[in-house]
Chain A
Amino acid sequence: MPQIAQLTADNWYLASQLFWLLVVFAGIYLVIGRGMLPKIEATVDARDRKVADDLAAAKAAHAAADAIEESYRQQSDASRAAAQKAVAEAKDKAAKDAEKRLAKVDAELSDKLTAAEADVASARKSAMAEIESVAAEAAGDLVAKLAGVKVGAADAKAAVKAVLHG
């Protein structure tokens, strides 16, 4: 077995094996391990950092957009509230005006009504009085024609009054 044989003394190729192993491995360590590997790792690190930065920027932009949307919503809420308030005020004012006008018209109408009632009452009174005198005359005439008795105007009036007013 050549692998074990080289571990014995006075083997011709053990020294060559060790020498070339150390030379080659030292070369790999220095050129590839120390020279190339850090550059490749730096590339990977730079890429990772760039990705992380980009993600952070995207996150920040997202947050900013959210904030803008929030402020926009607040503004629109405020303006809607203001509009609603203005509408309510206008409604209120219109209702009050209408009420006032209505009250005025009401008062005028009731004034007219009372005046008209007063007119009606006076007209009725005068009509009543006329009816009494006409009835008294008619009663006097009737009595004179039927009974041939002359009734005094005052008596006739009293009698008519008694019948009319119960």
Chain B
Amino acid sequence: MAAESGKIDPMHQFEVTPLGGGFNLGGHEILFTNSALWMVVAAIALGIFMWGGMRRQLVPGRWQAAVEGFTGFISSMMMQNIGTEGRKYTPYVFSLFMFILFCNLLGMLPLGVLGLHPFTVTSHIAITGVLALISFAIVLVVGFWRHKLHFFSLFVPHGTPLPMIPIIAPIEFVSFMVRPFSLGLRLFVAMTAGHVLLKVLSGFVINGFNAETLWLGSIVSVLSFILMIGISALELLVAGIQAYVFALLTSLYINDAVNLH
């Protein structure tokens, strides 16, 4: 978006634009947006990826080994953090991890070269917040279902001296209630910051070559471009790490609900 003024709006990439297909649902107009499009693209890409792992051979090929690497990664994580009961929650955590990972990575695709506008679904707190709330709701439902009111003992860590309970319990309660916010906010902030940074640097690259003093602008552009390469690699890492952190924290929270402390 190089406007005539030479300004590039790094926030433009987060704009939601309607692509049509509106209908009414409970007084709200539901439109098919670019955000929805990229969610669907992520789902389809994930579906194709998983389909390649469905060959069920005894000796896996490369693709099957890759898919089994992901499933084994999540199920061993659930096994370590929760125990054998963790298998029940593996489908949810796996879906969460893969959806976030694919959205993060698809948002990183350099499709701008082809004139398309990639949209990072996970850079919207409405999305990450809802995913965090779903995780939190699962923790609450499972916790109260399994332990009834005994679930409140979560706020009193094991071995707390009696006089400390009135102080510890509110702190634990607050930290428990903050979980969905920190969970959703972390992913949203990491993705937004990374994409803004890349956009700002790419603005430097473009504006540098358009500068009046071309030699100085070129130096800035080249340096910015080198920096962009490094930061793009870093962002790929962040995309994986943030998906992992989201899934890991969800599994730890579910562990609290299943096993208390």
A interface, CB within 8 angstroms of B: 1-4, 6-7, 12-22, 24-25, 27-29, 31-34, 36-41, 43-44, 46-47, 50
Contact = CB atoms under 8 A, between A and B. Distances in A.
A12 B31 CA distance: 9
B33 A20 contact: yes
Nearest to B15: A2
Nearest to B75: A41
Q: Interface residue tally of chain B, by bracket? A: 35 or more
Nearest to B68: A44
Interface of B: prevailing SS: helix
A20 B30 CA distance: 9
13 contacts: A1-B14, A6-B16, A12-B31, A13-B31, A13-B35, A15-B30, A17-B35, A17-B124, A21-B130, A24-B36, A36-B50, A36-B53, A44-B71
A40 B30 contact: no
B98 A7 contact: no
Contacts of A47: 58
| Shortest 8 CB-CB contacts between residues of A and residues of B | A33-B91, A15-B28, A20-B36, A33-B95, A24-B39, A29-B95, A13-B16, A43-B56
Nearest to B189: A3
Interface in B42-79: 42-43, 46-47, 50-51, 53-54, 56-58, 67-68, 71-72, 75
A29 B18 CA distance: 26
A3 B32 CA distance: 17
Contacts of B244: none
A111 to B, nearest CB: 95
B14 A2 contact: yes
A41 B71 contact: yes
B105 interface: no
B125 A3 contact: yes
B250 interface: no
B92 A33 contact: yes
B92 to A, nearest CB: 6
Contacts of A20: 30, 32-33, 35-36, 39-40
B56 to A, nearest CB: 5
B51 A36 contact: yes
Given A14-B126, A32-B95, 9 more contacts: A13-B16, A16-B18, A19-B30, A24-B36, A32-B47, A32-B50, A33-B95, A40-B56, A47-B58
A19 B28 CA distance: 10
B56 A4 contact: no
Given A1-B11, A16-B32, A28 B98 contact: yes
